[in-house]
Structure 1
Amino acid sequence: MKIQFTLDTLIALIALAASIYSIFRTNWLDRYSLEVSSFESELSNGEILFGYSVINTSTRVLKVTDLKMYLKGKELKPLNIDRQTDVYQSAIFHQINSSSILDECIYFKKPTILLPGSSFQISVYLKHDPDTIELTADHRIKGFKKTKLFPVNHLNLNDMNNVQN
């Protein structure tokens, strides 16, 4: 059996390759993604006020279901500070609603839905600056995982290592 390679076969193979490329490109551009940026840290009432932004950089609506911060592999818990009696107001952080008061265990109480291109700010009192932030979403945001780790860029942070425990 002899296979002939004609101009029609060449055109069909080029069309097949273009359609496969189009499918992969569409899936690649239409995937879910999150970014963490705008790391800020300052000393407030003897504690560190650490803040950052979570941005939905994908073209789809995404729900952030969990958020954790780590220092050398150990999870950092926010400090229990009553924000209503706190007279200090930072000029570089957005004010957090009184409905999202932090407690010792949870600083991200409800899942947050992010529209494409939208973001939200987190500000939390800690004893030390974290070195890693972990976000969990309702869809895969890194390969086959719904969880993604973000390293904290300490070059842009103030030196808060001398804060007492």
Structure 2
Amino acid sequence: MAEQAELRFAEPGMRLLENEHRYLSYLMEEWHELVLDFERQEQMTLEEGREKLKLLRQKLFEFIEPLKNHTDKEEEHFFPVLGTYIGFEQGPLVGIQDEHQEIDGYIGHFFHHTRGTIDTMTLDDMRTVAKDAGEAFEVLTIHFVKEETVLFPMAEKLMKAVDHDELYEKMNTLIT
């Protein structure tokens, strides 16, 4: 893995979320390589495709629990506190929460279409379903950037120390 830069945020809660993004991004790279194989390898055999799709399914399955634990933390603790400062009805929180649903949709669609049917799928079917995982990767990547360039700096700037302290205490749990 490439050497990572230092964490950018000063507040422990934001550092915790930022660090979780790093871990999730590391896991994402593992399964995104398989997605790219479906896009790049025109001469892939049916058997290679089935093996890669099974591995992609396994890697995504291993990814969803830490992702869900992370997004649950944000939705249950971080967003409500930040929302008291910036509002809930419009603005960045609405878009970020919509992206959580979009990510769930892509991953759910992938699992729906690979449930028990991989051995009967054509290569075209596999490439099509792998695109769902690719879309999830794209949305997640942009999503993390938005949180780290908009929400986290906003939280550090606007939130009171007592809110930062309480937030950290609530979110200081493992996602694995």
Q: Which has the higher strand share?
A: 1
State the TM bucket, normalised to the shorter chain: under 0.3
Q: Which has the higher helix share?
A: 2
> Which has more radius of gyration?
1
Q: TM-score, normalised by structure 1?
A: 0.24
